[in-house]
Amino acid sequence: MNNKTYTILQSFDKYEVNRLRKFLQSPYFNMNEAIVELFEVFIKDIFSKSAKDLSKEIIWRKIYKEKKYDDVRFRKLNSELLKLVEKFLAQQVYEDNPIHQAVHLMEAISNKKLEKLHSSAMRTANRLSKQQEFKPANFYFYQYEIQKNYYELTEYENKRGEKSNIEEIALNLDYFYFSEKLRIHNSILSRQNVANHQYSIAMIDEISSIIEKNNYEGIAPIEIYFQISLINEDFENEDHYFKLKKLVSKYIDQFPLSEAILIGKYVLNYSIYKINKGIQKFVREYFEAYREFLEKEIIFEEKEGLSPWEFKNTIVTALRLGEFKWVDNFIRKYSGKIPEVYRENAITFNSAQLYFYQKKYDQVIRLLNQVEYEDLTYNLNSKLMLIAVYYETDEIEPLYHLFESFRVYLNRNKKITIDRKNRFLNLIKFTKKLTKLMPGDKKGIEKLNNEIAETQGIINLKWLKEKIAELK
């Protein structure tokens, strides 16, 4: 159904629907019964096993019975329901944040001059602050708000002779401001590595200088985001990475899941960068960091699930380290977290990879031949794996048949770029030549090595060179 409110309601689970129903039925928020009826029509259709394509006229009759259809009134009803749904969503965020409520209570008490509630409101705010599990940047913003409201409640502005809490106000504002500036600065630097967009962030050099000169130990977002900024400014300095790794282990539990995941990505992406530059010790670094984040359940959010590409890359890393048992457990335990549309292919392909590294080649062939991958990357990589398996098992006839079918597939598929296609075609060409070489044929081996050295772009070049070296 092409209706904005209907589409939003489709994202609600049954628990959220029940809460929204109570919200709409409350006369404090809504006095129009027709809005509740419109909501019920939408919900009944959404949760029906045989959802219908409801027209505006059908919905109108369900609400207003015999009344003549009025398009202006129907649009207004939809608009009012949408506004109430938006208000409900905002209300849920507010109710899920008790410290935010405490701040607004203090503000209301101050506005109404309710002096008898001053002490209890401050005690509530302090108690809720101590109970806060997470301490990202906005935690310090709320502390700033609490201290500012306390300053106003106690009318310190009119008591110039008394020691006030103005220093606490300024400190918490600094903590929030510095943390957020650094977080945004890091985000910009990451974006500029991908796309050539220019941004200007005022005061970032001054903030960095202040942090270097002062001790902000214990203020998790400042320590972590400042360390990430040092990495972004000098990516080759590994000391910055290792210090960040220690800080993340120390503080990661103080961040809400979505922010913790992003922080973890900085650690993992640094290792990926180093691995791509050929620095092998970072293969282990990536694996150990990923395993730690996995144990702390800060790799992915439940609603989004686990990316099939991250799943694959992590498995490849673990296999390179010989962590076969870990990979087997990882596939069994976490494959169910991959979105369903990718899940079957991910399980089949990565199980085949595990068998390949274990040299269980019959199992690899069995798995790869039972699935025709819809995803291009899986399809290409599965054929690469089969080339390696047929070569390792000396299955020359199926290997040559695969060369031909793979060449046809590459030439017909319009989604594959010319550069990428050539890299695969080069592998086919040189693997075919490799099968014709005899062990100890120094002249033939040297000639093939020279041809490879003169060729730009060959997929699986490391494997190809290893197989040539075995013939020497």
Note the pLDDT tens digit of each residue in 105-140: 888 888 888 888 888 888 888 888 888 889 999 999
| Residue 382, SS3 per DSSP | helix
Q: Per-residue pLDDT averaged across 268-281, rounded? A: 91
Return the pLDDT at 237.
94
Structure tokens at 36: 């509740």
Q: Per-residue pLDDT averaged across 279-288, rounded? A: 95
Q: Per-residue pLDDT averaged across 423-448, rounded? A: 94
Closest by CA position to 294, among listed 247, 254, 327, 324: 327
Model confidence at 191: pLDDT above 80: no
Closest by CA position to 134, among listed 167, 179, 91: 179
User: What pTM does this model have?
Assistant: 0.79
Cα separation, 418 vs 410, whole angstroms: 9
Q: What are phi and psi of 63, to 5 degrees?
A: -95, -50
State the pLDDT confidence band at 102, using cuts at 50, 70 and 90.
confident
Which CB contacts under 8 angstroms, 24+ apart, belong to 71-78?
77/32, 77/34, 77/35, 77/38, 78/3, 78/4, 78/5, 78/38
CA 48 vs. chain centroid, Å, equals: 32
Cα separation, 374 vs 376, whole angstroms: 6
Q: Return the domain boundaries, the chain.
A: 4-95, 375-472
Average pLDDT, the chain: 91
Q: Please, are residues 78 and 42 in contact by the beta-carbon 8 Å criterion?
A: no
